[in-house]
């Protein structure tokens, strides 16, 4: 993947699957690589429905993701976006999309949320990654991945100088550096939302071809996932760092000015907070020009990876050097070539157990009592609001300067802003701790209360060590062998969440300096955050203060509920709930569990939706949504025709039904779930069977709306060349399992004749040259017109009126010359297909043909067709049994391509004679008899068949359409 494509794709996908998803009026604004680029508009509700389907899917992770991506690329906006892409680019896009989808899979353990920690610097709430389950050390957070692209020297320079050209452009990119290759790589995807903390709880982790994150020490629910960007990312010795650890220790951006040494030498000096209070406003002013985080970020923005064992962490001290080594990477296999790693567009090699309740997940809770209590203050988005008296002390000198200048002092201003917007909590030591900052802060407090840094490092037996601030960066304790031996994939379950939540609920709400309770989220009990976009408060602040008597939910909990229909942080429906179709979010749904604020929010959303939709009421919307989900989630059973229903089968409306019906006896006899299945021969490349979710096939349950596809530039086919193997990237593997057509509506849903016509046209101009493709495409047409005589026969039997169908089953014009195609691709199938286009050759040598007339399946052999007495008038109702899934008579002619081709190559010397026979036959029927005969009602056929010597006259091809039951005739 090249840098340009990755940037473009990431901007688009993060917009769709982070910014827009369930955020309502409180967007999770993502920094774009190119914020000026216009993105195609997408229907947010459709997106949400798609993600909801992923959330409730019963499919294993990989298949669920495939399905979601498959569906995504059928969105008109996405098709438009991809129209200029070649197959490789589409595959890369799809893979990148799967990374974002993976965030939402029920087995996931993280969530993207707001953080106000850096608002004072950026004028906006940024994003962060929070744990939704307790994570044990050594756990690899597989869903936190990124895609990489090699940066050319020119691109590298371009990224670095972007800010020089326009300092407003904030390219908040992430770059991974390979020291061995001396190259940088762009690293985008969900992993890009991981913020830096000097006492990081995760590390970038390369495992084989994948780069993801590994947990270094226990992480509690709601705690932020943090990594270490390097010692020089935020200025020399990270002196402008605004992380929680720095805040807690009065270092980095919180350090007393002109005291860099202090900030970098003291590992955990709690006194530094008080020291910081001595920094004066004058000092802050002096510091201003130095601190320009945006510029620094723009220029640097580097996650660094060492690829050699002798990396020197001293490099990190050099501000101009981007090659800051990444902790923990030293012993990651050197042989892993970062070039290969840059091809990392695939899903993890190892997945979390599909059964989320499996024993592997049921590791004991790692929550300590203190950590449990920290849940209530867990969101890092609450940092700026939950200030303590300590923070107040720290930030007092900076209050005046905080609002105007992006200086280090302003980072303290972050806290001061919070203190001005929120009352100071009661200054009891315990409360100071609990209300001071975010959960990770609290977690670290609890950790330090329970163990020293060294103890923490050894807390995980024989696996990883936490890195204390002053530990040399080369300290790496996680060996690859250890990693391989450990079970890293298990995502610990959260058995104690309920208890923790209860505990939280029973606690007193945090209070401000005025002794009044701070407004908290009614779901997670966190102090409500203030969300800023472009320096404007878009959520919280004075408003939430006013409404603090009312119950409110924080944006994170609102979004979570919108996506999962579960209160934060739960994702998994209770056991057995999968069989219940989840209901759409509605005020009624939410009100019982939450507050009026949420009610209003959802109502507002519903209004917006209903104003767009003519169908009106919320109730209607909800019903509609439930219906959709029911249809899309439940396996599609084979359609059944009521045998006793005296109705004419309208092929126009239900073209797919008759064909399926004809197969029903077999599928019923063998498959309890009525899954249509291919009975014999090569497996169909595009079989309707893939619609069965239980078959776990590629396009399970995907409803493809060809009609919606206004963008016709992309042929209606699967957008990916191949599905991906479990551990393979899209388009790279499974070369032997090509399927096609899914992306365009091969789901088996009935197509309108218009669509059919369009597709016919497209088929003619189709760029697909592969016979496989062609075949798959033809298979798609089976629903309406299958080229095989057997199918025609069935269709013919279904149509009592025989008028509509007549047009469809006519042999192709004889003038069509398709020879060259046949020569170039002389497969029996092609031959047979093209043979249909040629003149009809009659063949009365029925003996050897009839020897081929074995039934298709043993079931057919055993089940004779319904007997119809001679001269019976067949009404529509009497025709129905023929169409219904009842046993069929054995076929006289086995319409395989091979047998057909045998006929086709009849000796030319016999031609005149046979043509004469044809004339004889046709003269007995009506005009245009050759057409009529195919589709005429069964009664007529039988009549005529009896009136002529079928043995000698019957044209071979028409014979193939007639079921001549020996018992009857």
Residues that bind ligand SAM (CB under 6 A): 31, 118, 122, 126-128, 172, 174, 192-193, 195-196, 234, 241-243, 293, 297
C-beta closer to ligand SAM: residue 210 or 234:
234
C-beta closer to ligand SAM: residue 297 or 724:
297
Other CB atoms within a 10 A radius of the CB of residue 427 amount to 14
**Minimum CB–partner distance for residue 476 and ligand SAM (Å):** 22
555-564 and 44-56 helices, crossing angle to 10°: 70
Q: Give dist(CA 204, CA 326) in Å, integer.
A: 7
C-beta closer to ligand SAM: residue 170 or 377:
170
C-beta closer to ligand SAM: residue 28 or 488:
28
**Minimum CB–partner distance for residue 53 and ligand SAM (Å):** 27
**Minimum CB–partner distance for residue 402 and ligand SAM (Å):** 15
C-beta closer to ligand SAM: residue 10 or 779:
10
Q: Give dist(CA 450, CA 220) in Å, integer.
A: 15
Token pair listed for 491: 């995502």
Q: Give dist(CA 259, CA 283) in Å, integer.
A: 11
C-beta closer to ligand SAM: residue 81 or 118:
118
Q: Give dist(CA 284, CA 264) in Å, integer.
A: 19
C-beta closer to ligand SAM: residue 120 or 435:
120
Q: Give dist(CA 626, CA 126) in Å, integer.
A: 34
Other CB atoms within a 10 A radius of the CB of residue 953 amount to 18
**Minimum CB–partner distance for residue 31 and ligand SAM (Å):** 5
Q: Is 909 exposed, middle or buried (0-12, 13-18, 19+ CB in 10 A)?
A: exposed
C-beta closer to ligand SAM: residue 192 or 432:
192
Q: Give dist(CA 244, CA 229) in Å, integer.
A: 14
**Minimum CB–partner distance for residue 234 and ligand SAM (Å):** 5
The DSSP bridge partners found for residue 898 are none
**Minimum CB–partner distance for residue 160 and ligand SAM (Å):** 14
**Minimum CB–partner distance for residue 126 and ligand SAM (Å):** 3
Q: Give dist(CA 154, CA 436) in Å, integer.
A: 45
Cβ contact 749:707 at 8 Å: no
**Minimum CB–partner distance for residue 383 and ligand SAM (Å):** 11
Q: Give dist(CA 256, CA 250) in Å, integer.
A: 7
Cβ contact 268:249 at 8 Å: yes
Find the Cα–Cα–Cα–Cα dihedral 494, 497, 498, 503, rounded to 10°: 150
**Minimum CB–partner distance for residue 325 and ligand SAM (Å):** 17
User: What is the chain's alpha carbon radius of gyration, rounded to the nearest angstrom?
Assistant: 34
Element (H, E) at 148: strand 147-150
**Minimum CB–partner distance for residue 50 and ligand SAM (Å):** 24
The DSSP bridge partners found for residue 214 are 140, 203
Q: Give dist(CA 689, CA 636) in Å, integer.
A: 10
Angstrom distances, CA of residue 408 to CA of 75, 114, 158, 394: 45, 22, 27, 13
**Minimum CB–partner distance for residue 475 and ligand SAM (Å):** 21
C-beta closer to ligand SAM: residue 124 or 903:
124
Cβ contact 121:294 at 8 Å: yes
Look-up of token digits 């901007």: 11
Measured at the CA of 126, the angle between CA 124 and CA 130, to 5 degrees, comes to: 150
Chain residue whose CB lies nearest ligand SAM? 126
656-670 and 876-883 helices, crossing angle to 10°: 50
C-beta closer to ligand SAM: residue 127 or 399:
127
**Minimum CB–partner distance for residue 39 and ligand SAM (Å):** 17
C-beta closer to ligand SAM: residue 241 or 784:
241
Closest by CA to 736, choosing from 727, 723, 747, is 723
C-beta closer to ligand SAM: residue 241 or 518:
241
């Amino acid at each position: 993947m090249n840098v340009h494509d990755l940037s473009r794709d990431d901007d688009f996908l993060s917009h769709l699957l982070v910014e827009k998803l369930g955020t309502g009026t409180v967007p999770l604004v993502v920094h774009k690589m190119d914020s000026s680029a216009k993105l195609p508009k997408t229907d947010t509700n459709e997106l949400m429905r798609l993600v909801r389907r992923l959330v409730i899917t019963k499919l294993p992770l990989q298949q669920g993701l495939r399905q979601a991506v498959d569906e995504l690329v059928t969105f008109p906006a996405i098709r438009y976006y991809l129209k200029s892409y070649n197959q490789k680019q589409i595959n890369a896009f799809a893979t990148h999309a799967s990374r974002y989808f993976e965030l939402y899979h029920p087995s996931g353990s993280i969530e993207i949320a707001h953080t106000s920690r850096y608002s004072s610097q950026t004028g906006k709430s940024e994003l962060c990654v929070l744990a939704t389950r307790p994570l044990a050390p050594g756990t690899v957070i597989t869903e936190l991945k990124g895609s990489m692209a090699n940066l050319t020297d020119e691109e590298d320079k371009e990224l670095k100088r972007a800010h020089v050209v326009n300092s407003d452009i904030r390219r908040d990119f992430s770059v991974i550096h390979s020291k061995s290759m001396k190259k940088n790589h762009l690293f985008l995807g969900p992993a890009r939302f991981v913020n830096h903390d000097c006492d990081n709880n995760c590390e970038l982790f390369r495992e084989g071809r994948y780069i993801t994150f590994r947990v270094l020490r226990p992480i509690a629910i709601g705690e932020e996932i943090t990594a270490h960007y390097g010692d020089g990312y935020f200025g020399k010795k990270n002196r402008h760092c605004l992380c929680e650890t720095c805040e807690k220790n009065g270092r980095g951006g919180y350090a007393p000015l002109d005291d860099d040494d202090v900030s970098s030498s003291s590992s955990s000096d709690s006194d530094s907070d008080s020291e910081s209070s001595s920094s004066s406003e004058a000092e802050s002013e002096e510091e201003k020009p130095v601190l320009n985080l945006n510029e620094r970020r723009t220029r640097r923005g580097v996650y660094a990876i060492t690829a050699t064992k002798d990396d020197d962490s001293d490099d990190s001290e050099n501000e101009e050097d981007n090659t800051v080594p990444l902790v923990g990477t030293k012993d990651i296999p050197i042989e892993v070539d970062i070039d290969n790693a840059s091809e990392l567009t695939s899903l993890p090699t190892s997945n979390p157990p599909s059964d989320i309740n499996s024993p592997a997940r049921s590791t004991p809770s790692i929550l300590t009592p203190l950590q449990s209590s920290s849940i209530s203050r867990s969101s890092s988005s609450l940092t700026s609001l939950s200030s303590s008296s300590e923070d107040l002390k720290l930030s007092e000198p900076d209050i005046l300067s905080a609002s105007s200048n992006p200086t280090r002092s302003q980072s303290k201003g972050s806290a001061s802003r919070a203190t001005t917007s929120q009352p100071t909590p009661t200054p009891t030591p315990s409360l100071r701790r609990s209300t001071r900052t975010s959960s990770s802060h609290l977690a670290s407090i609890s950790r330090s209360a329970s163990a020293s840094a060294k103890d923490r490092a050894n807390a995980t037996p024989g696996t990883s060590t936490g890195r204390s601030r002053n530990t040399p960066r080369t300290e790496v304790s996680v060996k690859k062998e250890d990693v391989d031996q450990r079970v890293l994939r298990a995502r610990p379950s959260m058995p104690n969440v309920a208890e923790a939540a209860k505990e939280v609920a029973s606690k007193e709400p945090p209070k401000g300096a005025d002794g009044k309770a701070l407004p908290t989220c009614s779901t997670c009990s966190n102090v409500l955050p203030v969300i800023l976009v472009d320096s404007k408060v878009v959520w919280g602040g004075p408003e939430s203060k006013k409404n603090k008597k009312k119950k409110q939910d924080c944006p994170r909990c609102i979004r979570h509920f919108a996506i999962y229909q579960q209160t934060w942080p739960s994702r998994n429906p209770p056991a057995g709930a999968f069989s219940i179709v989840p209901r759409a979010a509605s005020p009624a749904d939410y009100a019982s569990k939450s507050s009026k604020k949420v009610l209003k929010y959802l109502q507002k959303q519903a209004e917006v939706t209903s104003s767009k939709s003519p169908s009106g009421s919320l109730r209607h919307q909800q019903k509609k949504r439930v219906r959709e989900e029911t249809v899309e989630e439940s396996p599609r059973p084979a359609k059944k025709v009521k045998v006793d229903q005296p109705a004419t089968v309208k092929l126009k409306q239900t073209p797919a039904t008759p064909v399926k019906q004809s197969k029903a006896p077999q599928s019923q006899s063998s498959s309890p779930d009525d899954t249509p299945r291919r009975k014999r021969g090569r497996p169909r490349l595009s079989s309707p069977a893939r619609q069965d979710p239980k078959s776990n096939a590629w396009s399970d349950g995907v409803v493809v709306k060809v009609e919606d596809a206004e963008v016709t530039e992309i042929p209606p086919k699967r957008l990916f060349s191949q599905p991906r193997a479990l551990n393979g990237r899209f388009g790279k593997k499974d070369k032997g399992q090509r399927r096609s057509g899914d992306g365009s509506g091969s789901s088996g849903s009935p197509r309108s004749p218009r669509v059919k016509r369009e597709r016919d046209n497209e088929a003619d101009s189709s760029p697909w040259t592969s016979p496989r493709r062609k075949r798959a495409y033809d298979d798609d047409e089976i629903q309406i017109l299958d080229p095989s005589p057997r199918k025609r026969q069935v269709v013919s039997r279904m149509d009592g009126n025989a008028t509509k169908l007549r047009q469809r089953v006519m042999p192709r014009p004889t003038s069509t010359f398709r020879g060259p195609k046949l020569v170039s691709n002389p497969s029996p199938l092609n031959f047979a297909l093209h043979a249909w286009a040629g003149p009809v050759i009659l063949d009365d040598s029925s003996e050897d043909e009839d020897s081929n007339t074995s039934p298709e399946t043993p079931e057919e052999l055993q089940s004779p067709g319904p007997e119809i007495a001679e001269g019976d008038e067949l009404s529509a109702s009497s025709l129905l049994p023929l169409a219904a899934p009842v046993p069929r008579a054995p076929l006289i002619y086995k319409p395989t391509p091979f047998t057909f081709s045998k006929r086709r190559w009849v000796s030319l010397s016999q031609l005149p004679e046979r043509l004469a026979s044809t004339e004889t036959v046709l003269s007995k029927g009506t005009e245009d008899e050759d057409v009529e005969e195919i589709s005429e009602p069964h009664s007529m056929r039988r009549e005529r068949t009896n009136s002529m010597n079928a043995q000698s006259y019957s044209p071979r091809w028409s014979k193939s359409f007639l079921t001549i039951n020996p018992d009857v005739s």
